[in-house]
Amino acid sequence: MSNVTIYHNPACGTSRNTLELIRNSGTEPNVILYLETPPTRAELVKLIADMGIPVRELLRKNVEPYEQLALADDNFSDARLIDLMLQHPILINRPIVVTPQGSRLCRPSELVLGILPDAQRGEFSKEDGERVVDAEGKPIKK
């Protein structure tokens, strides 16, 4: 079993790019399709704590439930925001990657490079053509 896990949404370009960067390191990760298999409350709380981010930072803003639930209002407790993410997993921003080197919300996708246990094995470009890794497997600095 792999020591890398990605909470993935195949409809998301950032998530697809992150998955391919993981694979470019020679690792086949555990892929959790979190819209079909949402994390438990305990898992979500642990992910947020491990990433060291505020609960609100994990909220995806450009999806319908965000507007419908008036989540832009700052009057929701962290516990309530977690409840809403569990009820509406589309509100959980992605991709989240967990490795022995840490857990991270990988937006943009190249943030995954800082927590992968293995180096990139070759050149990598995002779906939009942006080069992220050179032919020697070294990240391209912007």
Q: Strands 102-105 and 5-8: what pairing?
A: unpaired
For the stretch 68-80, pLDDT in tens is 999 999 899 999 9
% of the chain exceeding 90 in pLDDT: 96
Closest Cα to residue 25, out of 130, 142, 109?
A: 109
- Catalytic one among 4, 8, 9, 12? 12
pLDDT in the model for residue 138: 93
Does the structure show a pLDDT above 80 at 1?
A: no
The torsion of the CA quartet 121, 108, 46, 11, rounded to 10 degrees, works out to -90
For the stretch 110-131, pLDDT in tens is 999 999 999 999 999 999 999 9
Contacts of 28 (CB under 8 A, 6+ apart): 2
For the question of residue 12 being annotated catalytic, the response is yes
Task: For the chain, list the domains and their CATH numbers.
Answer: 5-133 (3.40.30.10)
pTM of the complete model: 0.94
pLDDT in the model for residue 39: 96
State CA 48 to chain mean position distance: 11
What would the DSSP string read from start to end of 24-63? HTT---EEEETTTSPPPHHHHHHHHHHHT--GGGGB--SS
Q: How confident is the model at residue 107 (pLDDT cuts 50, 70, 90)?
A: very high
